[in-house]
């Protein structure tokens, strides 16, 4: 029938669907199957039930695609993603999804960690993330200005590194402190500072800290030892106004698209497996917002999940930047470069560890969705 997916020659029985489930479970992790469905303009959360296990999720998806006559589409997507998996190839041959070529004729997924991206969705999320990232500006009482990067994780909550805001903390807490000092009421978070297509720069819009700006402070380990869960180099700051629910642009109280914020993940620790991609949205050298990416980035995560090391480029001013996987899932907070100045890796804090610290300190965590508004 015109406009319909091609039907398989062999009808699908209950045992057939269970065989599909077995093969798919052996070939795809939760994240992999989620990416497979995303490539079909579908979502894994459509198939999540009370049991919340991948075996059941895959079976529900298979049943749904069979019910709508789209099983061929699902199987061919699986074949494209797992052309080196003999059971997937045999499944396609047995069900005559198409004329399946021999293995040497198949197009190949060279790196399993680099999935095909739905470009429209990816770009839309990129714009939303850009709107939620800010340059943090800290005028020092002696001379000059210190800079960092931060990002909204709620209407009025910004995450950055502790060492970015340390001149303010130390000035308020330690009368013996002799380092750079700054006042909280002079700190600004500048959103939309970006370079335009004609080379000009948008000045963006500035939000200040609230009078009670401290939400969570987790200092860095000062001795370059393995940091504990209480030494994350993380700070959650409260803004004086809810930038996330106000409009983008220089008239935030008017009509327009709300800025939104980056939602913290609630699906367990991100994989952060070796050589997976990692993207960092940042203000390097206090410059307009930039995206650094590396498709083979992650090196290792330490045993306590307080640090993750990666190859993605950063510079001074990038401290406090959000780190994402290639599907714009927030996975880490950028923290620093190689402390030994060997320039072998950059380093961040896995976001699940930060979320756990926020929860244990009674900080509200907004989970609904990935990017946008509640």
Residues 50 and 196 in one domain: no
The mean-pLDDT minimum among 139-143, 188-192, 318-322 falls in 139-143
Average pLDDT score over the chain: 85
Compute the distance between CA of residue 152 and CA of residue 244 in angstroms, rounded to an integer: 7
Compute the distance between CA of residue 330 and CA of residue 128 in angstroms, rounded to an integer: 13
> What average pLDDT does the segment 189-214 reach?
95
pLDDT band at 366 (very low <50, low <70, confident <90, very high): low
pLDDT band at 113 (very low <50, low <70, confident <90, very high): low
pLDDT band at 114 (very low <50, low <70, confident <90, very high): low
pLDDT at 96: 56
Residue 4 domain-assigned? no
Residues 129 and 102 in one domain: no
Q: How many CB atoms lie within 10 A of CB 224?
A: 9
Contact status, residue 290 vs residue 322, Cβ threshold 8 Å? no
Task: Please spell the DSSP secondary structure of 121-161, one letter per residue.
Answer: HHHHHHHHHHHHEEEEEEE-SSSSEEEEEEEESSSSEEEE-
pTM of the model: 0.69
Percent of the chain with pLDDT over 90: 55
- Judged against a pLDDT cut of 60, whether residue 340 lies above it is answered with no
The mean-pLDDT minimum among 262-276, 318-332, 348-362 falls in 262-276
- Judged against a pLDDT cut of 70, whether residue 105 lies above it is answered with no
Compute the distance between CA of residue 223 and CA of residue 207 in angstroms, rounded to an integer: 34
Q: Tokens 């059941």 map to which residue?
A: 56
State which of 47, 75, 110 marks the end of a domain. 110
Residues 103 and 126 in one domain: no
Helix axes 14-27, 71-81, angle to 10 degrees: 20
pLDDT at 119: 85
Residues 177 and 57 in one domain: no
Strongest mean pLDDT among 6-10, 83-87, 224-228, 260-264: 260-264
Residues 180 and 47 in one domain: no
State which of 110, 142, 169 marks the end of a domain. 110
pLDDT band at 269 (very low <50, low <70, confident <90, very high): confident
pLDDT at 98: 46
- pLDDT tens by residue, 222-252: 776 788 999 999 999 999 999 999 999 888 9
Residue 1 domain-assigned? no
Residue 355 domain-assigned? yes
Residue 3 domain-assigned? no
Higher pLDDT: 121 or 93? It is: 121
Phi-psi region of 3 (alpha: psi -120 to 50; beta: other; left: phi over 0): left
Length in residues, the chain: 374
Residues 361 and 232 in one domain: yes
pLDDT at 3: 34
> What average pLDDT does the segment 80-100 reach?
74
For residue 338, what is the domain's CATH number?
2.40.10.120
Residues 211 and 286 in one domain: yes
Compute the distance between CA of residue 67 and CA of residue 4 in angstroms, rounded to an integer: 13
Percent of the chain with pLDDT over 70: 87
Strands (E), the chain: 133-139, 145-152, 157-160, 188-191, 194-195, 201-202, 205-220, 232-239, 261-262, 278-282, 290-294, 298-301, 308-310, 322-324, 330-337, 346-350, 371-372
Residue 333 domain-assigned? yes
- pLDDT tens by residue, 65-79: 988 888 888 888 888
Contact status, residue 34 vs residue 41, Cβ threshold 8 Å? no
pLDDT at 281: 97
State which of 75, 110, 145 marks the end of a domain. 110
Higher pLDDT: 35 or 110? It is: 35
List the domain range (segments joined by +) for residue 101: 14-110
What is the number of domains present in the chain? 2
Q: Sign of the C-alpha dihedral, residues 326, 111, 6, 95?
A: negative
Residues 168 and 197 in one domain: yes
Residue 115 domain-assigned? no
- pLDDT tens by residue, 291-337: 999 988 999 999 999 999 999 999 888 999 999 999 999 999 999 87
Residue 309 domain-assigned? yes
- pLDDT tens by residue, 2-58: 333 333 444 678 888 899 999 999 999 988 999 899 888 888 989 988 777 899 999
Residues 90 and 147 in one domain: no
Residues 53 and 138 in one domain: no
pLDDT band at 145 (very low <50, low <70, confident <90, very high): very high
State whether residue 301 is helix, strand or coil. strand
Residues 186 and 276 in one domain: yes
State whether residue 105 is helix, strand or coil. helix
Residue 8 domain-assigned? no
Residues 256 and 321 in one domain: yes
């Amino acid at each position: 029938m015109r406009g319909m997916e091609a039907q398989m020659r062999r009808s699908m029985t209950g045992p057939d669907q269970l065989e599909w489930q077995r093969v798919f479970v052996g070939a795809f992790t939760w994240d992999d199957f989620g990416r497979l469905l995303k490539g079909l303009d579908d979502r894994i959360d459509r198939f999540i039930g009370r049991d919340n296990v991948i075996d059941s999720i895959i079976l529900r998806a298979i049943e749904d695609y069979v019910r709508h006559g789209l099983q061929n589409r699902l199987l061919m997507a699986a074949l494209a993603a797992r052309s080196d998996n003999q059971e997937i190839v045999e499944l396609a041959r047995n069900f005559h999804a198409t004329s399946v070529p021999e293995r040497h004729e198949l197009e190949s997924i060279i790196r399993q960690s680099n999935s095909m991206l739905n470009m429209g969705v990816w770009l839309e999320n990129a714009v939303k993330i850009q709107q939620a990232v800010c340059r943090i500006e800290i005028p020092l009482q002696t001379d000059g200005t210190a800079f960092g990067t931060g990002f909204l994780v709620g209407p009025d909550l910004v995450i950055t590194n502790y060492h970015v805001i340390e001149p303010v903390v130390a000035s308020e807490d330690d009368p013996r402190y002799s380092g750079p000092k700054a006042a909280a009421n002079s700190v600004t978070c500048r959103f939309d500072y970006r370079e335009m297509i004609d080379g000009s720069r948008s000045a963006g819009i500035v939000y200040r800290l609230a009078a009670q700006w401290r939400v969570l402070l987790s200092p860095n380990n000062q001795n370059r030892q393995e940091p504990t869960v209480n030494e994350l180099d993380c700070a959650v700051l409260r803004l004086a106004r809810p930038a996330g629910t106000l409009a983008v642009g220089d008239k935030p109280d008017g009509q327009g698209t709300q800025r939104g914020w980056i939602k913290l993940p609630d699906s367990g620790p991100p994989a952060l497996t070796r050589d997976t991609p990692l993207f960092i949205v940042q203000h390097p050298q206090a410059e307009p917002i930039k995206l650094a990416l590396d498709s083979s980035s992650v090196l290792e995560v330490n045993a306590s999940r307080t640090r993750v090391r990666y190859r993605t480029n950063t510079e001074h001013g990038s401290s406090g930047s959000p780190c994402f996987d290639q599907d714009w899932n927030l996975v880490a907070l950028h923290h620093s470069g190689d402390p030994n100045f060997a320039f072998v890796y950059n380093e961040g804090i896995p976001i699940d560890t930060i979320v756990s610290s926020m929860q244990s300190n009674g900080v509200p965590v907004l989970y609904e969705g990935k990017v946008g508004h509640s």
